[in-house]
Structure 1
Amino acid sequence: MSIQCPNCSSYHVIERKIGKTVGARIGAVSGGILGASGAWTGAETGAVVGAAFGPVGLITGSIAGALFGGLVGSVSGSITGSKVGEQLDGSVLDLYRCLDCDTEFN
């Protein structure tokens, strides 16, 4: 079943996905910030584990722990933001745009 433009009856219609895109970006940034604060805990844990391997392991473990904490926060925030944005697309925002007459509709 194809989507038809209510204005010009064209079948050249695309899905906009604005909420999903914006939600994913906001989620990635906020998740990265929260992940960075959690990275301190990751760095401490990495330092404890790395300390068993000497001074180089201590530094490497700290850096790896901090990077891992920030990465996990950013990815999980992006996924969550994308899901919230997807819900906004389906209920609040106009979902489709006609490529022939530029009408936006739900």
Structure 2
Amino acid sequence: MNIQCPNCHSARITTRNRARKTAGLIGTVGGCVGGATGSLSGIEIGMTVGIVAGPPGMVFGGVLGALFGAVVGGTAGGLSGARLGELVDRRILDNYRCLACGHCFSLTVSEPPSY
């Protein structure tokens, strides 16, 4: 798709993706916190598996279980946040910026007719 600036008709266009970056960061942090706090079962499993190595193994297994929960939660939160931010960028914000004149604009999305 060839996008042109509505101001100067230049084809030198870039995307800003501000909402996608922000929502992705918020989703990642929220997912990490939620994954770490909700990973009690991961800690229990890690401690159970680590019991073979004694008390140090239990601690190490518990920490690994919590980290695994944080990584999985952060990944899921980051992906869903980025998806939501992409939708905001596309529908609400002026996501495109002309490199020639600096004008910021959004594409008009033609809605399908409702019958």
Above 0.5 in TM-score?
yes
Tell which deviates more after alignment, 60-69 or 40-49. Answer: 40-49
Q: How does 1:4-83 map to 2 (within 5 A)?
A: 4-83=4-83
Alignment length, in residue pairs?
106
> How far apart in 2 are the matches of 1:26 and 1:40?
23
The unaligned stretches of length 5 or more in structure 1 are none
Where has structure 1 moved over 6 Å in runs of 4 or more? none
Identical pairs, percent: 42
The amino acid across from 2:103 in the alignment is T
Query: Residue 52 of structure 1 aligns to a residue in which SS?
Result: helix
Question: Cα RMSD over matched residues?
Answer: 1.3
- Pairwise CA distance, 1:16: 1.5
> How far apart in 1 are the matches of 2:92 and 2:41?
39
The amino acid across from 2:58 in the alignment is L
- Pairwise CA distance, 1:63: 1.1
* Residue-by-residue CA offset, 1:37-76 (whole Å, 9 max, x unaligned): 1133321221122113422321211111111111111111
The amino acid across from 2:64 in the alignment is A
Normalised TM-score (structure 1): 0.90
* Residue-by-residue CA offset, 1:4-25 (whole Å, 9 max, x unaligned): 1000111111112112111110
Query: Residue 97 of structure 2 aligns to a residue in which SS?
Result: strand
> How far apart in 1 are the matches of 2:32 and 2:64?
15
Matching residue of 2:90: 90
The unaligned stretches of length 5 or more in structure 2 are 107-115
The amino acid across from 1:70 in the alignment is A
